[in-house]
Structure 1
């Protein structure tokens, strides 16, 4: 009896164990996902073309992500788009090359792409997926107008991380294009760093709808890092390019500096304007940028008192303790508006070496000097060490500028109205 009971209990336990093993085995197998991460696919490429069969894709047949190129901008091949996704915290992207034009998939679209039996390759340095069967019908749009958040890097960081950042959305803030002389447009290639060891280039197709827009001297850019090798498909000897998805991918723009600026007020002798008021010349003096009116001011030539920087010998000194305004005023117009103004200012009294503050404003005119509008806030010169003023503007069309030193009257317990020195006046063109 006991023997039969033990056999029965053992048989029941064996059935439970078998059922448990079967259940765990089915759970472990799970369901194979049809989608695989872009980073995994890219890792398959070791220099040779890869046939993307299921066995190499862990049974998957698709990749998914968000499109970061804009077909409407004209800055990309009409048969290609750039796809980016995040897989297990890793952001990766690559180019999808279709066998027919991309007419429907656009910037911000979330899509799935059938890649089974396609080829993972590099063309002129760029990693792509292509294939005879890879047509627009293999792309399924999941949603549109998705928000795209770029990775913020400096040009130096992007240069050092370029391989892993290829075909992803990157933002470069306040980036200088150092080789501009003024008037250049986007079409072509321009170095993106003042460091000549950083060979990174902003590249814009001549077919882009913003190709003929003026290029800013300094701006923040959103773009896609990509390789270009004219002579082979190797990426390690390719040029490093940065392509904007569309015109909206540039902001905080500063145009190139106008020809002959910054004005350093060195081209005329100090003796040509040595008195604060000179009616015989209408208080006007010609410098390298044009003619300026210096009313209640002189060309000062006392280094470290009029001229604060070590280069040159002159600056403009505007009179103190006046009840009327003193002006340093352009007597000519600039044709392409203004995006930024900078100049240096100081307050040293050449007789005493000390500073009494004064208050002044920047003004502009777009009617040839008939009327004037204040730009930004008033400034106070309150130190013997020169400071730099900077005004961000968005002025379109003809414009001229002046410094208006306010006539606050004689110095006293409340009123502070000392001398004002102005130098290195720089005007940046508008890029609109």
Structure 2
């Protein structure tokens, strides 16, 4: 019995050994993947051009990924596209430079590119794969209209990580473009941070189909970080650029402030509108932004009684205890609509007694002041310290605004209809 058991165990061990040998033999005979990661390829570049022969890319012949540039926008070279892929949680990208025009590979396409015997290089600072035989026929489209999910960063993070995330899809939220005065268009370059130590620029080609669209003062952007060196191929002395794939890559946008706004009501002296009703001038006064109608209003300059900004000496004061409305009204149109509007307001103090709240609203007109539409709900000036009102708008075309102080009658236990100060009236253009 023991002899039979030993024989059985021996046979089992031999069988196990044979199975193990067969398994290793199969692994050894496994085929090499034809696709190599973009990150692996980029790591081969140490400053000199690299010939991408199979031996250098683990026997592979292709890179694969998602296209993050849009050939239809005109913002990228028509013989190039930007390709990125994600491997083990890390996203990397580079530019594929063809010898012929890209007529078929689009934003969101999944593609494979035969890079065998092509060259990994930097041109004007940008890492690219190019080659004499690298043409559109070497690109295979796998699928289209794939969802592209950008990496969300701040401008500071993008600046500090630029080298590692070159040629990947990045989203920058709530970016302020400094020094806009209004009317600037996308074509050209704009600094993407108010911090002067962050040299990062939004760059749009003159050939882009959105180059003549208005640049927003504040917006979120999706784009591709890329280098530009006008004098050499070195990236470390290149300018850091951020290129939008297309015009849909800007959102949550606020246009630049209109020229001469915010209106601080300082240009005209208080004496030019010192009475609440002045028929001789039709209650109109010209300030730096244009002519305004102050019906039942004056230019207030009383220290500690009128609430103007600390740098100013005047604010508009609308009359109290009226049974009719008092108005601060633009007598001119703004041509490019409005995306946002702000102003400061407070309960002005009378010559004697204490300040009393009042009710008012913001209105707009798009027919030259013939009819007016209220924006939002009525507001109350319930504090003697100035507050800021802010309105998000989406008005296109010519528009004008006014403050309508409600005529609620005499002050009492229920009715509050005191003096109202308005100052620092600011309107932002609509960039849609």
Rounded to whole Å, the distance in 2 between the matches of 1:369 and 1:276 is: 21
Partner of 1:284: 284
What is the Cα deviation at residue 39 of structure 1? 1.6
Rounded to whole Å, the distance in 2 between the matches of 1:139 and 1:353 is: 81
Rounded to whole Å, the distance in 2 between the matches of 1:40 and 1:240 is: 23
Describe how 1:367-378 pairs up with structure 2 within 5 A. Answer: 367-378=367-378
Q: Secondary structure at the match of 1:217?
A: strand
Change (3 A) 1:383 1:20: same
Q: Contact between 2:322 and 2:408, CA under 8 Å: does it hold in 1?
A: yes
Partner of 2:338: 338
- Give deviations 1:177-218, integer Å, cap 9, x for gaps: 112222211111111111111111111111111111222222
Rounded to whole Å, the distance in 2 between the matches of 1:315 and 1:305 is: 11
- Give deviations 1:344-383, integer Å, cap 9, x for gaps: 1112424468543222111111222111112233322222
1:79 equivalenced with 2:84 (yes/no): no
What is the Cα deviation at residue 277 of structure 1? 1.6
Partner of 2:59: 59
Change (3 A) 1:405 1:9: closer
Partner of 1:296: 296
Change (3 A) 1:10 1:319: same
Q: Secondary structure at the match of 1:22?
A: helix
Change (3 A) 1:18 1:214: same
Partner of 1:427: 427
Q: Contact between 2:307 and 2:348, CA under 8 Å: does it hold in 1?
A: no
Partner of 2:264: 264
Describe how 1:20-35 pairs up with structure 2 within 5 A. Answer: 20-24=20-24, 26-27=26-27, 30-35=30-35
Partner of 1:161: 161
Q: Contact between 2:307 and 2:385, CA under 8 Å: does it hold in 1?
A: no
Change (3 A) 1:22 1:277: same
Rounded to whole Å, the distance in 2 between the matches of 1:386 and 1:284 is: 25
Q: Secondary structure at the match of 2:82?
A: strand
Q: Contact between 2:100 and 2:136, CA under 8 Å: does it hold in 1?
A: yes
Give me the CA root mean square deviation.
2.2
Greater alpha carbon shift after TM alignment, 78-87 vs 296-305: 296-305
Change (3 A) 1:373 1:46: same
What is the Cα deviation at residue 430 of structure 1? 2.2
TM-score normalised to structure 1 length: 0.94
Change (3 A) 1:268 1:210: same
Q: Secondary structure at the match of 1:71?
A: coil
1:401 equivalenced with 2:401 (yes/no): yes
Q: Secondary structure at the match of 2:147?
A: coil
Partner of 1:366: 366
Describe how 1:131-142 pairs up with structure 2 within 5 A. Answer: 131-142=131-142
Rounded to whole Å, the distance in 1 between the matches of 2:362 and 2:16 is: 88
Partner of 2:273: 273
Partner of 1:46: 46
What is the Cα deviation at residue 47 of structure 1? 1.2
Describe how 1:4-403 pairs up with structure 2 within 5 A. Answer: 10=10, 13-24=13-24, 26-27=26-27, 30-351=30-351, 354-403=354-403
Rounded to whole Å, the distance in 1 between the matches of 2:263 and 2:88 is: 55
Rounded to whole Å, the distance in 2 between the matches of 1:353 and 1:38 is: 75
What is the Cα deviation at residue 117 of structure 1? 1.6
Structure 1 unaligned regions, length at least 5: none
Change (3 A) 1:240 1:371: same
What is the Cα deviation at residue 33 of structure 1? 2.2
- Give deviations 1:158-187, integer Å, cap 9, x for gaps: 111111121111111221111222221111
Greater alpha carbon shift after TM alignment, 11-20 vs 274-283: 11-20
Change (3 A) 1:369 1:7: closer
Greater alpha carbon shift after TM alignment, 132-141 vs 352-361: 352-361
- Give deviations 1:214-266, integer Å, cap 9, x for gaps: 22222221111100001111111000001110111112222222221111000
Partner of 2:416: 416
Rounded to whole Å, the distance in 2 between the matches of 1:354 and 1:26 is: 93
Change (3 A) 1:7 1:318: same
Q: Contact between 1:179 and 1:190, CA under 8 Å: does it hold in 2?
A: no
Change (3 A) 1:131 1:352: farther
Structure 2 unaligned regions, length at least 5: none
- Give deviations 1:258-302, integer Å, cap 9, x for gaps: 221111000111122122222222111111111111111111112
Greater alpha carbon shift after TM alignment, 20-29 vs 261-270: 20-29
Greater alpha carbon shift after TM alignment, 259-268 vs 175-184: 175-184
What is the Cα deviation at residue 7 of structure 1? 8.4
TM-score normalised to structure 2 length: 0.94
What is the Cα deviation at residue 304 of structure 1? 4.5
What is the Cα deviation at residue 387 of structure 1? 1.5
Rounded to whole Å, the distance in 2 between the matches of 1:397 and 1:13 is: 87
